[in-house]
Amino acid sequence: MSFLALLALLLLAPADVKVSMLDGQSHSGSLTAISGTDVSLTENGAAAKFPIADVMGLEFSAAKVAPAEQPQSLILTDGSRVAGASVVRTAKQLTLESPSLGALTFDSKFVQSVRLQPDNATHRGQWNTFLKRESDKDLLIVAKRDGSGLDFLAGVISSIGPEKIEFLLDKETVPVPAARVYGVVFARATGAEENGPSAALKSAVGITTAHGDLLAAKSVALEGDTLQIETGWGQSLQAAIDQIRTIDLSGGRIQYLSDLEPIEERFTGVDPEGSLLAGLVTVEQQSLLFGPRRDTTMERQSRLRLRGREFPKGLCIHSRTEISWAIDRQFSSLDCSVGIDDEVAFNGDHAVALKIMGDGNVLFEKLIATTDDPLPLRVPLDGISTLAILVDFGDGDSTCDWLDLADAKLVIAKDAK
């Protein structure tokens, strides 16, 4: 084959990875290596190498489509979430079979919760509430016999097996049939950091698999087609690169907006002045239903979703709301995807107005319609002390005004102290 023919094939070959940089640029090509210092790929037929300190993350286009959801899942104290089957726990360790990662072993002290039954939409809200609960005892969560919800017992879990859970209740060991147990939330001291569904990874590297697992890792390296992973819980793993969806290298270099405490939050009501519904319900009551949500939609139990893609982090803001944050010149940009949440986006042709301001000056302004595709947004924040976001009525009506700032994150400036 001639050189020109080979070059043409390389140029026509589909890109298998997108590399996002801290400065907002991106590069696409075939990944060739990841080391402790660099990310290397073939881009437009030429070798390219980028310092890992300048890379935000990698997104793989060739990740295999995940099969049906795994029946069991666990959350670790470092924020990792792993799904699989065949969970077994003793006093010292827990094991799980993962379709992406094989046999996993965890020290029991790193496990925050285990869901033993398939995800159930009816129970999801209650389960998420239990995940956030502080308790000096383990919580054994069972489904009520009439199917109306979940209930719990507080005690000590001695072991988890395929047939039964050994549960110490009032100094007596009670064998509970595993089929009756929806999940277990292990003891967590008052004041401990949240490790529930919205908790951020406490690690420099975050890895998502094709099955939706989220792993905290100390380091990653690519050897051939295999990703070598040093996990936050001390286990060395190997995963085929076609089982990996994203590698997030932004740890310590971003601040999620939903985790940053605002200096002011003003919600003035969901109905424009002069509308037929204005004034029928107090602003305080409206705020309980439609005030800003962090990492969930207005329904509190659902993640943000834009055109089928779920986002674990972000803000869902209803008209008319203004929020401001003190960012003290510490950040270089605000990055997010903006759009009307899928929960309401297909209920008609409506619009919402978005305005982003820095120190009182308009940095971005646009009318966002329900029919618009999600808009990737990068707003420069160099030298900005106060960031403010206003979500307003775009068409004189509040219908479908669930505006998502999905994956909204502030990129820490390189010279920030």
pLDDT tens, residue by residue, 205-255: 999 988 889 999 999 999 888 999 998 888 899 999 888 999 999 877 889
Helix (H, G, I), strand (E, B) or coil at 252: coil
Lowest mean pLDDT, pick from 46-60, 280-294, 352-366? 280-294
The stretches of 240-355 forming alpha helices (DSSP H) are 283-290, 342-345
**What digits encode the pLDDT tens for the residues 167-202?**
998 888 999 999 999 999 999 755 444 444 334 456
Domain with CATH 2.60.120.1060 in the chain: 255-412
Instruction: Answer yes or no: is pLDDT of 2 > 60.
Output: no
Task: Work out the percent of the chain whose per-residue pLDDT is above 70.
Answer: 88
Q: Does domain 255-412 have CATH number 2.60.120.1060?
A: yes
Cα torsion 131, 137, 141, 144: sign: negative
**What digits encode the pLDDT tens for the residues 158-170?**
999 999 999 998 8
Q: For residue 293, give every residue at least 6 positions away whose Cβ sits within 8 Å of its Cβ, in sequence order, or none.
A: 300, 315, 316, 317
Whether this prediction's pTM lies above 0.95 is answered by no
Instruction: Answer yes or no: is pLDDT of 122 > 70.
Output: yes
Indicate left, alpha or beta for 44 from its phi (over 0: left) and psi (-120 to 50: alpha). left
Q: Which residue spans within 196-350 are E strands per DSSP?
A: 205-209, 214-223, 226-231, 236-240, 244-248, 254-256, 264-267, 293-294, 304-306, 309-311, 314-318, 321-326, 331-340
**What digits encode the pLDDT tens for the residues 256-279?**
999 999 999 998 877 666 554 555
Q: For residue 17, give every residue at least 6 positions away whose Cβ sits within 8 Å of its Cβ, in sequence order, or none.
A: 28, 29, 30, 31, 41, 58, 59, 60, 61
Q: Any idea which residue has 């969901």 for tokens? A: 270
Q: Any idea which residue has 């986002």 for tokens? A: 311
Instruction: Answer yes or no: is pLDDT of 153 > 90.
Output: yes
The full DSSP string for 221-238 is: EEETTEEEEEETTS-EEE
| Alpha-carbon gap, residue 215 to 80, rounded angstroms | 5
- For 3-60, CATH number out of 1.20.970.10, 2.30.30.100, 2.40.160.50, 2.60.40.420 equals 2.30.30.100
Neighbours of 361 (CB within 10 A): 8
